[in-house]
Amino acid sequence: MATLNVLITGAARRVGKILAEAVAEAGGNVALHYGRSREAAEQTAAALRARGATVALLQADLNNPAEAAALVERAWQALGSLNALVNSAAIFENLDWQSTDLPAWERHLRINLTAPFLLSQAFARRLLAEPEAEGRIVNILDWRALRPGADHLPYTISKAGLVALTQSLAVAFAPRITVNGIALGAVLPPSDGQPAPKVLHATPISRWAQPEEVGATLRFLLTGPAYITGEIIHLDGGRHLT
């Protein structure tokens, strides 16, 4: 199999960093996208390079569709080619139907759904132009996407849209590009300050995911059977069942 050359959005810190480390662990190279976290991105890049990976650092504001659309070509140039895209960058604001205003609604859709679409479209156009090249797309989802509730409304709707996009593009991009998703639950304490004990109480396997479990799932979808497409794997300790 060709060396993994993976563009990962939001890979400077937290979950994105775990995903980037998983690619380096598999012997792959990373086009490491970040938004505002430049210092963290440089530290993560140094850690990946120490493990032997080639790393290209790419800044882009995914709230800007033009910057999102241009990112794949920049990553392709920086690494020489790409064979995988991981859409992890997202915003997660604690808003319900009352507190959601139009800018917040549009911001969530632009960053969490429009950007992954534009990135996937650019990735497919570029990759399918190469004779016989094959690729993989992995979208980072949330258990809430398949079991929507009243909380985090625009976030949940954007991730539910990303589930539909995962399945639509799995059909559209077959047979040369697979498109799958990982629906995460409690991996790291939420960035919005939600109390951690409440999260764990609702998680049947009552602990946080281990980084290695996240990494192993990503590696499975990037390097495992190419006959799996349109699949959403829950990595949430059973949270979506309660």
Ligand X SMILES: NC(=O)c1ccc[n+]([C@@H]2O[C@H](COP(=O)([O-])OP(=O)(O)OC[C@H]3O[C@@H](n4cnc5c(N)ncnc54)[C@H](OP(=O)(O)O)[C@@H]3O)[C@@H](O)[C@H]2O)c1
Map residues 57-76 to x or -, x wherever contact with ligand X holds by CB under 6 A.
----xxx-------------
Nearest residue (CB) to ligand X, 136 versus 152: 152
Interface with ligand X, residue 198, by CB under 6 A: no
124 phi, psi to nearest 5 deg: -65, -45
Interface with ligand X, residue 37, by CB under 6 A: yes
C-alpha span between 198 and 192 (Å, rounded): 13
Please report the sign of the dihedral spanned by the C-alpha atoms of residue 50, residue 52, residue 57, residue 62.
negative
Chain positions 157 to 176 lying near ligand X, rule: CB under 6 A, are: none
Interface with ligand X, residue 111, by CB under 6 A: yes
CB of 209 to ligand X, least distance (A): 7
In the list 91, 138, 153, 169, the residue contacting ligand X (rule: CB under 6 A) is: 91
Spatial CA neighbour of 116 closest among 108, 105, 127, 104: 108
Please provide the distance, in angstroms rounded to a whole number, between the alpha carbons at the two ends of the chain. 40
CB of 63 to ligand X, least distance (A): 4
CB of 142 to ligand X, least distance (A): 4
Chain positions 7 to 36 lying near ligand X, rule: CB under 6 A, are: 10, 12-16, 34-36
In the list 82, 124, 140, 177, the residue contacting ligand X (rule: CB under 6 A) is: 140
In the list 77, 94, 99, 191, the residue contacting ligand X (rule: CB under 6 A) is: 191
C-alpha span between 75 and 72 (Å, rounded): 5
Cis ω for the linkage preceding 148 (within 30 of 0): no
CB environment 53-90: b (16+ within 10 A), e (fewer): bbbbbbbbebeeeebbbbbbebbbebbebbbbbbbbbb
Residue located via tokens 């829950």: 234
Nearest residue (CB) to ligand X, 67 versus 134: 67
Which region, judged by CB under 6 A, interacts with ligand X, from 44-52, 89-97, 124-132, 222-230?
A: 89-97
Helices (H), 26-133: 38-50, 65-79, 102-109, 115-128
CB of 183 to ligand X, least distance (A): 8
DSSP 9: T
Interface with ligand X, residue 43, by CB under 6 A: no
Interface with ligand X, residue 142, by CB under 6 A: yes
C-alpha span between 83 and 104 (Å, rounded): 33
Nearest residue (CB) to ligand X, 12 versus 160: 12
**Residues in the site for ligand X, rule: CB under 6 A?**
10, 12-16, 34-37, 61-63, 88-92, 111, 140, 142, 184, 186-188, 191
